[in-house]
Amino acid sequence: DIVMSQSPSSLAVSVGEKVTMSCKSSQSLLYSSNQKNYLAWYQQKPGQSPKLLIYWASTRESGVPDRFTGSGSGTDFTLTISSVKAEDLAVYYCQQYYSYPFTFGSGTKLEIK
Amino acid sequence: QVQLKESGPGLVAPSQSLSITCTVSGFSLTSYDISWIRQPPGKGLEWLGVIWTGGGTNYNSAFMSRLSISKDNSKSQVFLKMNSLQTDDTAIYYCVRSSSYDAMDYWGQGTSVTVSS
């Protein structure tokens, strides 16, 4: 199974600050035939189901604000929130869909100061 | 619009089986794969298995011996059955659609299952 590791486990920032969180996979998620990274980011707000933010490591899902940016390739990935809003309070999960079983990172909890 | 809705028993006794139904609307099960994912209280997400458009399945090996996923395309329903439940199977169970680009684009609201006597 591919192991997904996220860091930090939690962070607290003020509104307007820039946030960066990391996701690393135990093997490459880059599919050679199409040069796509099979990595997604999800946001789970308190009491809600997860919501897809980013797929193919860097493509924003329709309707996702452009302050959310995914980057990286291979085994190292980053989710950046350029200017945090209070509504971004959530746990953020990365997930690989390169191979079964699909696996998730343990999440980064974003708190607002 | 696309919707997925899980319905389950809420409470299951230890060693008993769990059956959950996911009813979808706004799309056809012949066009999209459906996964089951669970989340224990206060913990992360765990992928259980998938049923593909053609009816084939793939299960997380950790659950393969006691998990079954099936569907009825005509009723737009997907079924999860898990046997021999224990207290650590207590979780919210989600059914989730895989998009055309394979990421999981629509999630149900989840159904909470507690395993307790």
- Percent of chain B past pLDDT 90, that is, above it, reads 95
Contact list in B for residue A102 (CB cut-off 8 A) is: 35, 47, 50
CA-based nearest residue in chain B for residue A101:
B60
Instruction: Tell me which residue in A55, A59, A104 faces B45 most closely, judged by beta carbons.
Output: A104
Whole-Å CA distances, A25 to A8, A87, B41, B59, B83: 15, 28, 25, 21, 31
The answer to whether residue A56 scores a pLDDT higher than 90 is yes
Buried (b) or exposed (e) across A9-48, using 16+ Cβ within 10 A? eeeeeeeeeebebbbbbeeebbeeeeebbbbbbbbbeeee
Q: Using CA atoms, how far apart are residues A75 and A77, in angstroms rounded to an integer?
A: 7
The pair of structure tokens assigned to B71 is 């569907």
Residues in B touching A100 (Cβ below 8 Å):
50, 58, 60
Residue B101: band (very low, low, confident or very high) from pLDDT cuts 50, 70, 90? confident
Q: How far apart are CA B45 and CA A43, in angstroms?
A: 12
pLDDT band at A108 (very low <50, low <70, confident <90, very high): very high
Burial letters B27-40, b for 16+ CB under 10 A, else e: eebeebbbbbbbbe
Distance of CA B53 to the CA centre of its chain: 15
B65 in contact with chain A, both atoms CB, cutoff 8 A: no
Chain A residues in contact with B110 by the CB 8 A cut-off are 49
Residue contact A103–B47, C-beta within 8 A: yes
Residue B86 has pLDDT above 90, yes or no: yes
pLDDT tens digits along A3-54: 999 999 999 999 999 999 999 999 999 999 999 999 999 999 999 999 999 9
Structure tokens at A67: 């302050």
